[in-house]
A and B are shown apart, each in its own frame.
Chain A
């Protein structure tokens, strides 16, 4: 895959998403360059999850287009599988495969989807378990893991595919407060490695430490898109100010 380093990893042009008559994404334009960490914030129901789900074609779109590494993302085409293999997604509810051990969760898709030799994948997986600081839990089943541990396994599972883009949809919202830090620490490591990341989160500390851009969404639109430090210090839009105020004083 030879991609021009100057062209964006992800390009979204005039994206429109409707559920029936309900307009959820209302003309979003967005370019994400390689290595950027983009943090999305905004009130619930404003289309942040939907936007991520459109990027890997989990949702079909009604207008505009999405280019991932130069290729159009078409949710109903057979090429969509190849796109998804290069985009890792981490969900609020972890969505680990409950019938498999943590290690098997991580190795399943590289072996079955990418067709890599099981031995190689397992070795890589062991490295990933070290990276997410769970070496000792590799043989546990998801039901035996805490939320924070499950989410770190989910991150390892996504990384095992060697993705070019990572998308996190409120990865710490379902966690007990004491385990949030472990997950954020892993995510911060990934950001510092230069990974391209889209992160929906209300963890302002994360945005401040490793975010390159902070995007405030409201009503299916991008309202403000600036470096996190600036946006937090002096939000331009009154809605941004109101929203940040509400989560910062929480």
Chain B
């Protein structure tokens, strides 16, 4: 008879901390890089240049319509076939970044298009350079708009990082399969990892909320209310 026994996993918890760190590291890097891709992508998609708009649009449409798993295979196995070897971690990082970058682009674009023209005109009429205009007027407003959708996407990245297990990255899902195979305690390992993902995703989410509050509370200039 099957008997639930979480303690049966105990002998295999040794590599777990490393696996958790790797999942967190992969997710955090993917989030940071995809934010950068998203900002660039959104600036392209809202650019006055037709070519940039086209490139941004094509990127989003292509990457949104290919499953993340397929992108991971393409980079890990596909590129290897044409002689470009990328290791497992970096393949997963690139794939997650490209995939999430497409969604980031759409989130940032939504934020950018929500800023009325008058804001740009007011800032320009005060002599702001392009950098100053985005830094002090546009992005702070965009940030408030995208703050919530960004949270969903960040959690999606943490969860998506589990697909790195298919190319042998030693992260949490890989640990789960191995621990299950070795102990036959599949149910226990699945449940344990399920809980671990909830905690990791919420850790990143709380990180977002704390950073967000901190950014929002900072006055752009010397004084506060």
The answer to whether A122 and B222 have CB atoms under 8 Å apart is yes
Instruction: Collect the chain B residues with CB atoms within 8 Å of residue A108's CB.
Output: 126, 136-137, 220-221
Nearest CB in chain A to that of B117: its residue: A95
B152 contacts chain A at the CB level, 8 A cutoff: no
A98 to B114, CA, bound (A): 13
The answer to whether A118 and B222 have CB atoms under 8 Å apart is yes
Residue of B116, B122, B126, B144 with highest tally of chain A CB at under 10 A: B126
Instruction: Collect the chain B residues with CB atoms within 8 Å of residue A81's CB.
Output: 127-129
The answer to whether B125 and A56 have CB atoms under 8 Å apart is yes
B124 contacts chain A at the CB level, 8 A cutoff: yes
Interface-lining segment among A36-44, A86-94, A197-205, A237-245 = A86-94
The answer to whether A84 and B127 have CB atoms under 8 Å apart is yes
B90 contacts chain A at the CB level, 8 A cutoff: no
Q: How large is the interface on B (under 10, 10 to 19, 20 to 34, 35 or more residues)?
A: 20 to 34
A112 contacts chain B at the CB level, 8 A cutoff: yes
Instruction: Collect the chain A residues with CB atoms within 8 Å of residue B122's CB.
Output: 89, 91, 95-97
B62 contacts chain A at the CB level, 8 A cutoff: no
A112 touching B132 in the complex, CB below 8 Å, given contacts A58-B125, A101-B225, A118-B222: yes
- For residue A20, give the distance in angstroms from its CB to the closest CB of chain B: 15
- For residue A165, give the distance in angstroms from its CB to the closest CB of chain B: 11
A89 to B121, CA, bound (A): 9
B183 contacts chain A at the CB level, 8 A cutoff: no
- For residue A59, give the distance in angstroms from its CB to the closest CB of chain B: 10
B11 contacts chain A at the CB level, 8 A cutoff: no
Which residues of B28-57 are within 8 A (CB) of A? none
A87 touching B125 in the complex, CB below 8 Å, given contacts A99-B144, A139-B225: yes
The answer to whether B221 and A111 have CB atoms under 8 Å apart is yes
A84 touching B124 in the complex, CB below 8 Å, given contacts A95-B119, A99-B141, A113-B132: yes
A118 touching B127 in the complex, CB below 8 Å, given contacts A95-B119, A98-B141: no
Mask: chain B, 184-225; 1 = CB below 8 Å from A; 0 = not: 000000000000000000000000000000000001111101
The answer to whether A58 and B221 have CB atoms under 8 Å apart is no
Which of A91, A103, A112 is close to B128, meaning CB atoms less than 8 Å apart? A112
The answer to whether A84 and B126 have CB atoms under 8 Å apart is yes
Which residues of B108-146 are within 8 A (CB) of A? 116, 118-119, 121-129, 132, 136-137, 140-141, 144
The answer to whether A111 and B132 have CB atoms under 8 Å apart is no
Nearest CB in chain B to that of A103: its residue: B223
A112 touching B221 in the complex, CB below 8 Å, given contacts A91-B118, A95-B118, A97-B119: yes
What 9 additional pairs, Cβ within 8 angstroms, besides A93-B118, A108-B126? A81-B128, A84-B127, A87-B125, A91-B118, A95-B116, A97-B122, A99-B144, A100-B220, A118-B221
What are the 9 A-B residue pairs with the smallest beta carbon separation, nearest first? A118-B222, A85-B127, A95-B118, A95-B122, A89-B125, A109-B126, A84-B127, A81-B127, A111-B221
Chain B positions within 8 Å of A, measured between CB atoms, are: 116, 118-119, 121-129, 132, 136-137, 140-141, 144, 219-223, 225
28 A-B residue pairings within 8 Å (CB atoms) = A81-B127, A82-B127, A83-B127, A84-B124, A84-B126, A87-B125, A89-B122, A89-B125, A93-B118, A97-B119, A97-B122, A97-B137, A97-B141, A99-B141, A101-B225, A104-B223, A108-B136, A108-B220, A108-B221, A109-B127, A109-B128, A111-B222, A112-B128, A112-B136, A112-B221, A113-B126, A118-B222, A161-B126
